[in-house]
Amino acid sequence: MKYEKLAKEIIKNVGGKENVSSLTHCITRLRFKLIDESKANTEILKNMDGIVTVIQSGGQYQVVIGNHVPEVYADVSAIGGFQSAAAESPDEKIGLFNKFIDIISGVFTPALGVLCATGMIKGFTALFLSLGLLTSTSGTYQILNAIGDCLFYFFPIFLGYTSAKKFNANIFLGMAIGATLVYPTFSSITASGQPLYTLFSGSVIESPVYLTFLGIPVILMSYSSSVIPIILSTYVGAKIEALFKKIIPSVVRTFLVPFCTLLIIVPLALIVIGPVATWAGQLLGAGTLFIYNLSPVIAGILLGAFWQVFVIFGLHWGFVPIAINNLTVLKYDPILAGVFGASFAQTGVVLAILLRTKNIKLKSLSIPAVISGIFGVTEPAIYGITLPRKKPFVLSCIAAGVGGGIIGLMGTKGYILGGLGIFGIPSYISPEGMDAGFYGAIIGITVSFVLGFLLMYFGGFKDDVVKDQPADGPKGEILVKQETVSSPLKGEVVALSDVKDEAFSTGALGKGIAIEPAEGKVFSPVDGVLTSLFSSGHAIGITSDHGVDILIHVGKDTVKLKGKHFTPRVKQGDTVKKGDLLMEFDMEAIRAAGYILTTPVIVSNSNNYLDVIETGKKSIGYKEDLLTVMI
């Protein structure tokens, strides 16, 4: 296994395989559902090689890996035996919104790759038709169109499979329900037959009845490409199946459970669930279109600006069923069109960083992030580059908002759920050809990319570099760039590996050193800004003027003191100079309370630098050189 070591560490730090309720993955993330998230070592995972970051949102524990997540997922699944681990903890309580996000992501994630692939094929087929490279009667067009249309046309069958897995039902039961909904005979009845009578005549839900089941009218609808009916039907079917499993003897359970379940759920789906869900979907599509029509420009600006925020918290999944429902009901979707420029804005910002930075580590991170961003995968850019530096992320959101506003102004609509990044361009070709909306999409993503690049390149770019230190190179040129971090405490020097706290001793939180304090005072080790001051007073974070992030953590588990015996002398956001007094603490009282005072001093963004060199001294005083950060 290529990622066996990483997979084992992930399983260990999510609380062990016994703490995993289910596991799926998307383009860049492992999506765990944990029985108890408090058992996971989030900070260790965040700082582990091979992991970009960890996000806890929507009832999921998301470990962001990057583009090679399928290989990591395969190894994690094999080692942990998670292939069929989908049971939810009955005692777990999450909010309704989180539950909704969890269901949507669980249902759509397994099909997302193939859904995008078929959408791309359909989009490019439409492009070839518009350019005159193919004709609608050619065999090549017919076959390509069939490949592109197959999944979306038979979507209920695929979603029946994924929904059944999510709801812990027999997967073939879910597929059978989906297949019934798109059974071709029903379509032919509505196309050529005469209705027996009409229900709800004259209302917005007027429905002709072509057949009955045991005398009960069946409202036949088109469920091809639909989303809500099959998900709801499979959910109810899972409950019915579970009931029959309890009452049917095990010796005949294998065939009698699906037999009884299908006889109940399929008519129920056709008579009640399907029609009601379809009507609900029509209202949802009309509602989103109404909001969009109030002001397409404002809708585009808001969607574009906040889309990457939605991605960070996993909330973007909530828009997927709305978009698919719009495509089914309206035959187009204007909602996801507004966010099309977000990945291009992010890519433009990272490209500017790539061209401006002199930091070798940052440059090496930026190159693959730009390549991934071009194809619509921006998690490596967000979590590895822009979000940790804050300003680049904000600038990318601004650029995406402007692009979204242009897309809204031009009336751009998506006609298929196609690929990401540049592969998504054909998705905006109207069945009638390249219209103003299509050119609006091109203009929107171009503006997002260019504006993101310009804002970052000329917007006060601050490199992750440090002060130049002259060396004895030829002609006096600078051979090395480095920043010296002074000691914030006075005392005995302790190797980080000897600290009795695994998060620090393993180097998971960053490289550095520790001090056994001789006095209860902490001074600033650099010139910079106090970026974090914990309410408990036990830990301080400083970002130097040259971008080095330093964490000073007084003692082990001292957060439990809730600020007692700690006296901060500064506040968060203060600008500090090297040697300024930051905090005082009562050493005797803290030790009397049972806590050790060994204080790690680490460079929390040490992965951005070539090395962090510790002092060789055994004891150290205030303002003496403690760490040297090398670029």
Q: Is position 508 within any domain? A: yes
| Judgement on whether residues 49 and 170 belong to the same structural domain of the protein | no
Q: Is position 204 within any domain? A: yes
The larger pLDDT score, comparing residue 289 to residue 58, is at 289
Query: What does the block give as tokens for 597?
Result: 């005072």
| Judgement on whether residues 300 and 335 belong to the same structural domain of the protein | yes
Q: Is position 17 within any domain? A: yes
Instruction: Please give the pLDDT value at position 221.
Output: 82
pLDDT higher than 60, residue 86:
no
pLDDT higher than 60, residue 84:
no
The residue among 306, 304, 299, 302 whose CA lies nearest residue 409 is 299
Query: What does the block give as tokens for 517?
Result: 């304090």
| Judgement on whether residues 349 and 440 belong to the same structural domain of the protein | yes
pLDDT digits (tens, 9 = 90+) for 425-459: 988 998 888 899 999 999 999 999 999 999 999 98
Cα separation of 149 and 225, whole Å? 10
CB-based contact 357:287 (threshold 8 Å)? no
Q: Is position 468 within any domain? A: no
Q: Which amino acid is at 248?
A: I
pLDDT higher than 60, residue 471:
no
Structurally, the chain folds into a number of domains equal to 4
| Judgement on whether residues 383 and 532 belong to the same structural domain of the protein | no
Q: Is position 86 within any domain? A: yes
The larger pLDDT score, comparing residue 24 to residue 530, is at 530
Which one of 272, 292, 312 terminates a domain? 292
Start-to-end CA span in the chain (Å): 34
Question: Please, what's the b/e burial string for 13-49 (b: 16 or more CB within 10 A of its CB; e: otherwise)?
Answer: bbbeeebbbbbbbbbbbbbbbbbebeebbbebbbbbe
The residue among 398, 348, 397, 352 whose CA lies nearest residue 374 is 348
Instruction: Please give the pLDDT value at position 510.
Output: 81
Cα separation of 580 and 524, whole Å? 5
pLDDT higher than 90, residue 126:
no
Cα separation of 465 and 448, whole Å? 28
pLDDT higher than 80, residue 269:
yes
Q: Is position 235 within any domain? A: yes
Residue 119, SS3 per DSSP? helix
Q: Give Cβ neighbours of residue 248 (< 8 Å, ≥ 6 apart).
A: 256, 257, 260
DSSP single-letter state for residue 195: P
The pLDDT > 90 percentage for the chain reads 37
- Beta-bridge partner residues of 60: 57
The larger pLDDT score, comparing residue 194 to residue 583, is at 583
Instruction: Please give the pLDDT value at position 505.
Output: 80
Q: Is position 465 within any domain? A: no
Question: Please, what's the b/e burial string for 396-430 (b: 16 or more CB within 10 A of its CB; e: otherwise)?
Answer: bbbbbbbbbbbbbbbebbbbbbbbbbebbbbbbbb
Which one of 292, 319, 348 terminates a domain? 292
Q: Which of 26, 116, 150, 397 does the annotation list as catalytic? A: 26
| Judgement on whether residues 358 and 253 belong to the same structural domain of the protein | no
260 is catalytic: no
- Beta-bridge partner residues of 533: 540
The larger pLDDT score, comparing residue 597 to residue 323, is at 597
Which one of 94, 125, 140 terminates a domain? 94
Cα separation of 90 and 94, whole Å? 11
Residue 30, SS3 per DSSP? strand
Cα separation of 618 and 342, whole Å? 51
Q: Which domain holds residue 16?
A: 4-94
Instruction: Please give the pLDDT value at position 27.
Output: 58
| Judgement on whether residues 263 and 378 belong to the same structural domain of the protein | no
Q: Is position 122 within any domain? A: no
| Judgement on whether residues 276 and 311 belong to the same structural domain of the protein | no
| Judgement on whether residues 453 and 589 belong to the same structural domain of the protein | no
Mean pLDDT score across all residues of the chain: 83
| Judgement on whether residues 41 and 164 belong to the same structural domain of the protein | no
CATH number at residue 584: 2.70.70.10
Q: Which of 4-18, 19-33, 370-384, 543-557 has the highest mean pLDDT?
A: 4-18
pLDDT higher than 80, residue 230:
yes
Cα separation of 158 and 150, whole Å? 11
Instruction: Please give the pLDDT value at position 515.
Output: 95
Strands (E), 511-618: 511-517, 521-523, 528-533, 539-544, 549-553, 566-568, 575-576, 581-585, 599-603, 611-614
| Judgement on whether residues 260 and 409 belong to the same structural domain of the protein | no
CATH number at residue 13: 3.30.1360.60
Return the number of other C-beta atoms located less than 10 Å from residue 325's C-beta: 24
pLDDT digits (tens, 9 = 90+) for 371-390: 878 877 676 677 668 877 78
Say which range, 283-292, 357-366, 397-406, 470-479, has the weakest mean pLDDT: 470-479
| Judgement on whether residues 545 and 609 belong to the same structural domain of the protein | yes
Helix 436-458 and helix 342-356, axial crossing angle in degrees, nearest 10: 30
Cα separation of 297 and 338, whole Å? 9
Helix 342-356 and helix 360-374, axial crossing angle in degrees, nearest 10: 150
pLDDT higher than 60, residue 87:
no
| Judgement on whether residues 612 and 495 belong to the same structural domain of the protein | yes
